[in-house]
Amino acid sequence: MTFVGEHQTGKPQSTVLAVEDLSRSFGGVPAVDGVSFRISGGEIVGLIGPNGSGKSTTVNLVSGSLRCDSGRILLRGSDISNRSAYQVARLGLTRTFQIPRVWGRLTVAENLLVAGTDVSDESATRALTRRRKLRQQRGELEERLFDILATLNLTPLANQQAEVLSGGQKRLLEFGRIMMSGASVLVLDEPFAGVNPVMCRALQDIIEALRADGCLVLLIEHNLQAVEETCDRVIVMATGKIIAQGSLAEVRASEKVISAYLGQAS
């Protein structure tokens, strides 16, 4: 299931991810309230806003972790609003979490292999009857695994249990999983939180490389410098609504944004 390569690399093209009038409330309190935006292939878009503005809920809705109350989410034109998280993942939309998540009791290499195989299709009987095809697939998979481990400087840790990794290394492993899965729409929840500047630079390079492969990236981030360096444009949310869109410089000048951040939104 490779989506990378389906797109031409380089210039942003037509809309890949479209969110239309998305709403979700918790116990009557709207967390996301009529949010709409479009993102094209090859674009890196930052989702920013003060705490409690609905960014995380938006990400959870888009990735299928939460169901929306109303509105639509279109991935390459097809409606994914009511798909479950695993179906959304299989359509090539992958997310990361605020605190990096790995399978701690699997090795680093196994973490990547799980992300890269169409595992759950391999019933025991099929594994027996299609050995040759599987062996060939396994060869390709291992090749990709070695490449990715090398790219992320994780090769020496390949056989370590993932739970011993540092926070930054877990973050790298998350990106490794994305690369292995061949996802083309990446939703990243604070990818630079709690990583040192060197690692931050490394992660930015990875994101840039994924974009060069045609991936679309939507990222939540509080580190505005990183946002400025990484994102083509930003979407600003406050109290569940989008209050501004554009380049970081543009939205910084917006009075709505300033007052939202300073807590004076009326």
3-state secondary structure of 63: coil
Q: Which residues pair with 73 in a beta bridge?
A: 19
Angstrom distance (rounded) from CA 55 to CA 68: 14
Angstrom distance (rounded) from CA 87 to CA 84: 5
Q: Which of 40, 65, 204, 245 binds other proteins (CB under 8 A)?
A: 65
3-state secondary structure of 114: helix
Q: Which of 103, 222, 224, 246 binds other proteins (CB under 8 A)?
A: 103
Residue window 148-167: x/- pattern of binding to other proteins, with contact defined by CB under 8 A: --------------xx----
Q: Which of 38, 72, 101, 201 binds other proteins (CB under 8 A)?
A: 101
Q: Which of 40, 117, 160, 223 binds other proteins (CB under 8 A)?
A: 117
Which 123-152 positions form the footprint of other proteins (CB under 8 A)? 123-124, 127
Q: Which of 51, 78, 120, 266 binds other proteins (CB under 8 A)?
A: 120
Q: Which of 4, 18, 74, 106 binds other proteins (CB under 8 A)?
A: 106
Closest CB to other proteins among residues 162, 195? 162
| Contact indicator for 20, 74 with CB cutoff of 8 Å | yes
Angstrom distance (rounded) from CA 184 to CA 1: 11
Angstrom distance (rounded) from CA 96 to CA 211: 16
Going by the DSSP 8-state scheme, the letter that residue 162 receives in this structure is: G
Which residues of this protein are in contact with other proteins, per CB under 8 A? 63, 65, 84-86, 89-90, 94-95, 97, 99, 101-106, 110, 113-115, 117, 119-124, 127, 162-163, 177, 181
